[in-house]
Amino acid sequence: MIAIIDYGVGNLFSLKSSFAAIGTDAYVTRDPAAVAAADKIILPGVGAFGDAAKKLRDCGMAEVVTAEARRGKPLLGICLGMQLLFEKSYEYGEHEGLGLIRGEIRPIAEQISEGLKIPHIGWNALQFTEKPSRLFRCIKNGDHVYFVHSFSGTGCAESVIATAEYGAPLVSAVEDGSVFGCQFHPEKSGDVGLNILRAFCSMEVGKC
Protein backbone atom coordinates (compact mmCIF):
# COMPACT_ATOMS: atom_id res chain seq x y z
CA MET A 1 0.00 0.00 0.00
CA ILE A 2 1.08 3.52 -0.76
CA ALA A 3 0.47 6.31 1.73
CA ILE A 4 -0.14 9.77 0.30
CA ILE A 5 0.53 12.25 3.08
CA ASP A 6 -2.20 14.80 3.68
CA TYR A 7 -0.86 17.67 5.79
CA GLY A 8 -3.29 20.30 4.59
CA VAL A 9 -1.46 21.69 1.56
CA GLY A 10 -2.86 21.17 -1.87
CA ASN A 11 -5.39 18.94 -3.44
CA LEU A 12 -4.73 15.24 -3.66
CA PHE A 13 -7.60 14.20 -5.92
CA SER A 14 -5.55 13.80 -9.11
CA LEU A 15 -2.67 12.12 -7.34
CA LYS A 16 -4.96 9.55 -5.75
CA SER A 17 -6.71 9.02 -9.11
CA SER A 18 -3.41 8.46 -10.91
CA PHE A 19 -2.54 5.56 -8.62
CA ALA A 20 -6.00 4.10 -9.18
CA ALA A 21 -5.38 4.43 -12.94
CA ILE A 22 -2.24 2.28 -12.74
CA GLY A 23 -3.98 -0.26 -10.52
CA THR A 24 -2.16 0.50 -7.28
CA ASP A 25 -3.80 0.89 -3.91
CA ALA A 26 -3.04 4.27 -2.42
CA TYR A 27 -4.66 5.97 0.51
CA VAL A 28 -4.60 9.58 1.58
CA THR A 29 -3.79 9.88 5.26
CA ARG A 30 -3.21 12.35 8.08
CA ASP A 31 -2.14 9.59 10.49
CA PRO A 32 1.62 9.13 11.08
CA ALA A 33 1.00 5.52 12.13
CA ALA A 34 -0.58 4.77 8.74
CA VAL A 35 2.50 6.21 7.04
CA ALA A 36 4.75 4.00 9.15
CA ALA A 37 2.64 0.98 8.14
CA ALA A 38 2.71 1.73 4.37
CA ASP A 39 5.10 0.12 1.85
CA LYS A 40 5.86 3.41 0.16
CA ILE A 41 5.32 7.08 0.86
CA ILE A 42 4.28 9.99 -1.35
CA LEU A 43 4.99 13.48 -0.06
CA PRO A 44 2.97 15.92 -2.18
CA GLY A 45 2.67 19.67 -1.79
CA VAL A 46 1.90 22.99 -3.40
CA GLY A 47 2.25 26.45 -1.92
CA ALA A 48 4.96 28.07 0.15
CA PHE A 49 7.89 26.10 1.63
CA GLY A 50 7.95 27.71 5.09
CA ASP A 51 4.27 27.13 5.74
CA ALA A 52 4.36 23.55 4.42
CA ALA A 53 7.47 22.60 6.43
CA LYS A 54 5.83 23.89 9.59
CA LYS A 55 2.59 21.98 8.93
CA LEU A 56 4.54 18.80 8.22
CA ARG A 57 6.36 19.10 11.55
CA ASP A 58 3.31 20.16 13.55
CA CYS A 59 1.32 17.08 12.54
CA GLY A 60 4.16 14.73 13.42
CA MET A 61 4.69 13.64 9.81
CA ALA A 62 8.17 15.09 9.37
CA GLU A 63 9.58 12.77 11.99
CA VAL A 64 7.90 9.63 10.59
CA VAL A 65 8.81 10.40 6.99
CA THR A 66 12.45 11.00 7.87
CA ALA A 67 12.68 7.85 9.98
CA GLU A 68 10.99 5.64 7.36
CA ALA A 69 13.12 7.04 4.54
CA ARG A 70 16.31 6.44 6.52
CA ARG A 71 15.22 2.81 6.95
CA GLY A 72 15.06 2.48 3.19
CA LYS A 73 11.31 2.76 2.59
CA PRO A 74 10.77 4.26 -0.89
CA LEU A 75 9.75 7.91 -0.61
CA LEU A 76 8.71 10.15 -3.50
CA GLY A 77 8.40 13.91 -3.04
CA ILE A 78 6.40 15.77 -5.68
CA CYS A 79 6.76 19.48 -6.53
CA LEU A 80 6.94 21.27 -3.15
CA GLY A 81 7.13 17.79 -1.64
CA MET A 82 10.44 17.28 -3.46
CA GLN A 83 11.74 20.63 -2.25
CA LEU A 84 10.93 19.67 1.34
CA LEU A 85 13.37 16.73 1.03
CA PHE A 86 16.24 19.22 0.76
CA GLU A 87 18.23 20.69 3.65
CA LYS A 88 17.10 24.25 3.29
CA SER A 89 14.99 26.69 1.27
CA TYR A 90 15.41 30.39 0.62
CA GLU A 91 11.78 30.96 -0.36
CA TYR A 92 10.81 34.17 1.45
CA GLY A 93 13.33 33.81 4.28
CA GLU A 94 15.31 30.79 5.30
CA HIS A 95 13.60 27.53 6.19
CA GLU A 96 14.81 24.11 7.20
CA GLY A 97 13.73 21.06 5.20
CA LEU A 98 13.90 17.35 6.01
CA GLY A 99 17.56 17.06 4.98
CA LEU A 100 17.13 13.77 3.09
CA ILE A 101 18.66 15.25 -0.08
CA ARG A 102 21.77 17.37 0.16
CA GLY A 103 21.21 20.83 -1.33
CA GLU A 104 19.16 24.00 -1.12
CA ILE A 105 16.07 25.45 -2.78
CA ARG A 106 16.59 28.82 -4.43
CA PRO A 107 14.53 31.14 -6.67
CA ILE A 108 14.61 30.24 -10.37
CA ALA A 109 15.03 33.98 -11.04
CA GLU A 110 18.57 33.75 -9.60
CA GLN A 111 19.47 30.90 -11.93
CA ILE A 112 18.16 31.96 -15.34
CA SER A 113 18.61 34.83 -17.74
CA GLU A 114 16.28 37.78 -17.44
CA GLY A 115 13.19 38.11 -19.58
CA LEU A 116 11.94 34.54 -19.12
CA LYS A 117 8.58 34.20 -17.47
CA ILE A 118 8.35 33.04 -13.88
CA PRO A 119 6.95 30.59 -12.79
CA HIS A 120 8.41 27.96 -15.09
CA ILE A 121 5.05 26.64 -16.22
CA GLY A 122 4.16 24.17 -18.94
CA TRP A 123 5.51 21.04 -20.62
CA ASN A 124 9.28 20.71 -20.78
CA ALA A 125 11.63 17.90 -21.81
CA LEU A 126 13.55 15.90 -19.21
CA GLN A 127 17.26 15.73 -19.87
CA PHE A 128 18.70 12.74 -18.06
CA THR A 129 22.04 13.14 -16.31
CA GLU A 130 24.71 10.41 -16.28
CA LYS A 131 23.48 9.16 -12.92
CA PRO A 132 21.59 5.88 -13.41
CA SER A 133 17.99 6.15 -12.27
CA ARG A 134 15.47 3.59 -11.09
CA LEU A 135 12.64 6.12 -11.10
CA PHE A 136 13.00 6.74 -14.84
CA ARG A 137 13.41 3.16 -15.98
CA CYS A 138 10.02 3.19 -17.76
CA ILE A 139 10.50 6.50 -19.63
CA LYS A 140 13.09 7.90 -22.01
CA ASN A 141 15.41 10.86 -22.22
CA GLY A 142 13.60 13.83 -23.81
CA ASP A 143 10.11 12.85 -22.62
CA HIS A 144 7.94 15.82 -21.66
CA VAL A 145 6.48 16.43 -18.22
CA TYR A 146 4.38 19.22 -16.72
CA PHE A 147 6.01 21.84 -14.48
CA VAL A 148 4.70 24.67 -12.31
CA HIS A 149 7.30 26.20 -9.99
CA SER A 150 9.20 29.38 -9.13
CA PHE A 151 11.93 27.82 -6.97
CA SER A 152 14.23 24.87 -7.65
CA GLY A 153 16.99 22.70 -6.20
CA THR A 154 20.67 23.74 -6.20
CA GLY A 155 23.88 22.28 -4.82
CA CYS A 156 22.56 18.74 -5.24
CA ALA A 157 24.70 17.56 -8.19
CA GLU A 158 25.28 14.05 -6.79
CA SER A 159 21.57 13.25 -6.66
CA VAL A 160 20.25 14.93 -9.83
CA ILE A 161 18.81 12.46 -12.35
CA ALA A 162 17.23 14.99 -14.73
CA THR A 163 17.18 18.66 -15.58
CA ALA A 164 14.95 20.77 -17.82
CA GLU A 165 16.26 23.58 -20.00
CA TYR A 166 14.76 26.98 -19.14
CA GLY A 167 17.45 29.58 -19.60
CA ALA A 168 19.57 27.18 -17.52
CA PRO A 169 19.34 23.48 -16.72
CA LEU A 170 16.87 23.48 -13.82
CA VAL A 171 16.95 20.53 -11.43
CA SER A 172 13.88 18.46 -12.29
CA ALA A 173 14.33 15.19 -10.44
CA VAL A 174 16.58 13.75 -7.74
CA GLU A 175 17.30 10.25 -6.50
CA ASP A 176 19.43 9.11 -3.59
CA GLY A 177 19.01 5.48 -2.56
CA SER A 178 15.31 5.06 -2.00
CA VAL A 179 14.58 8.79 -1.71
CA PHE A 180 13.13 10.25 -4.92
CA GLY A 181 11.89 13.67 -5.90
CA CYS A 182 10.12 15.14 -8.95
CA GLN A 183 9.91 18.89 -9.35
CA PHE A 184 7.22 18.35 -12.01
CA HIS A 185 3.78 16.76 -11.57
CA PRO A 186 3.76 13.11 -12.68
CA GLU A 187 0.01 13.03 -11.99
CA LYS A 188 -0.44 15.74 -14.66
CA SER A 189 2.15 14.48 -17.15
CA GLY A 190 0.05 12.03 -19.15
CA ASP A 191 1.39 8.53 -19.84
CA VAL A 192 4.98 9.58 -19.11
CA GLY A 193 3.95 10.63 -15.61
CA LEU A 194 1.99 7.43 -15.01
CA ASN A 195 5.05 5.41 -16.09
CA ILE A 196 7.17 7.22 -13.52
CA LEU A 197 4.62 6.35 -10.83
CA ARG A 198 4.59 2.73 -12.07
CA ALA A 199 8.37 2.54 -11.65
CA PHE A 200 8.08 3.97 -8.15
CA CYS A 201 5.36 1.46 -7.23
CA SER A 202 7.53 -1.47 -8.28
CA MET A 203 10.35 -0.62 -5.86
CA GLU A 204 10.97 -2.62 -2.75
CA VAL A 205 11.86 -1.59 0.77
CA GLY A 206 15.54 -1.41 1.55
CA LYS A 207 16.74 -2.30 -1.97
CA CYS A 208 18.78 0.40 -3.63
Selection from 86, 82, 47 nearest residue 173 by Cα: 82
**Closest to 101 in 3D by CA, of 38, 46, 177:** 177
Question: Would you call 79 a catalytic residue per the annotation?
Answer: yes
23 binds other proteins (CB under 8 A): no
Measured from the CB atom, the residue of 21 and 33 that comes closer to other proteins is: 21
Does the footprint of other proteins cover residue 13 (CB under 8 A)? yes
Q: Tell me the closest approach of the beta carbon of residue 42 to other proteins, in angstroms.
A: 15
Distance CA 145, CA 125 (A): 6
**187 has catalytic annotation:** yes
CA distance 43 to 80: 9
Q: Contact between 119 and other proteins (CB under 8 A)?
A: yes
* C-beta of 110 vs 158, nearer to other proteins: 110
Binding track over 127-156 against other proteins, x by CB under 8 A:
-----------------x-x-x--------
Distance, C-alpha 80 to centroid of its chain: 7
Q: How far is CA 36 from CA 3, 75, 137, in A?
A: 9, 12, 27
Distance, CA of 19 to CA of 192 (rounded, Å): 14
Task: Find out whether 144 and 124 touch, Cβ atoms under 8 Å.
Answer: yes
- Measured from the CB atom, the residue of 16 and 40 that comes closer to other proteins is 16
Q: Which of 79, 156, 182, 201 is catalytic?
A: 79
Q: Tell me how far, at minimum, the Cβ of 156 lies from other proteins, in Å.
A: 22
Residue count (the chain):
208
Which chain residues interact with other proteins by CB under 8 A? 11, 13-14, 17-18, 20-21, 46-47, 117-125, 144, 146, 148, 165-166, 187-191, 193-194
